[in-house]
Amino acid sequence: MALHKNMKLWEMKQFLREELKEQILLEIAPILHVGISPGGYFGVTRQILCLVDFLGALYSGYNGEVDKKTGRKLISKAKNTINFIQEFFGEIDPNYKTKGKYLYLMYRHGLVHLYQPKEIELKDGKKLSWLAYKGPREGASVHEVQFVTHMGISQAPNDPNVKYLTLSITSLYYDLIAAIDLYIQKLENDKNLQEKWVSTANAISEPEKEGEKII
């Protein structure tokens, strides 16, 4: 089922349940490689955050804004994605409310464009680096870092100037599914959210003009 113009509520729900969640099961779950240590750390996170970009655009709506240089529609914005993470993932785990911006800047921007997650210089001058693992939301030990928490911040054991954003890709996967279920619940009871979906889906459904600039 593809997005199309002027979607009804039942079509929105069907799309999320039968299209998006099915895609997650068929295309992301296999690269999670549950039960074995190797594999999935970059692939799972990259795929999930690209989908959250899309969900953030649906949730925030499209206001007609275009890039002045290229003429392209500005449908997806970082602030909308971060807002979706904080609002929906944050209901599942409050760590997303305070650290969702780091997750996006580190993993979305880094993995999509530059192969690996980005490191972030914090306001206190320390470096926030990345540490992804497979395992429980709380209590895991990763390399030399003990008792980490999903979406928590841990001090590097051998460098006082480095901290880690610790990310359980297992938890991230299940949190995405739960966030979609929460979004469906809110869509059912909020006409404004339905209208925002329509504005975004309508913009996505319009073809790009051949003459628009790529850069």
Tens-place pLDDT, residues 167-213:
999 999 999 999 999 999 999 999 999 999 999 999 999 887 765 55
Q: What percent of the chain has pLDDT over 90?
A: 74
pTM surpassing 0.85? yes
Position 215 confidence tier, pLDDT thresholds 50, 70, 90 = low
**54: domain range?**
9-116+170-205
Distance CA(188)–CA(11), nearest Å, equals: 11
Sheet of 152-155: strand order equals: 120-121, 127-133, 162-168, 152-155
Is 155's pLDDT higher than 80? yes
User: pLDDT of 50-69, one tens digit each?
Assistant: 999 999 999 999 998 988 88
**Rounded (to 5) percent helix, strand, coil in the chain:** 55, 15, 30
Q: Which residues are 152's β-sheet partners?
A: 166
Work out how many domains the chain is built from and give that number. 1
Is pLDDT at 161 greater than 90 in this prediction? Answer: yes
How many angstroms separate the CA atoms of 186 and 182, rounded? 6
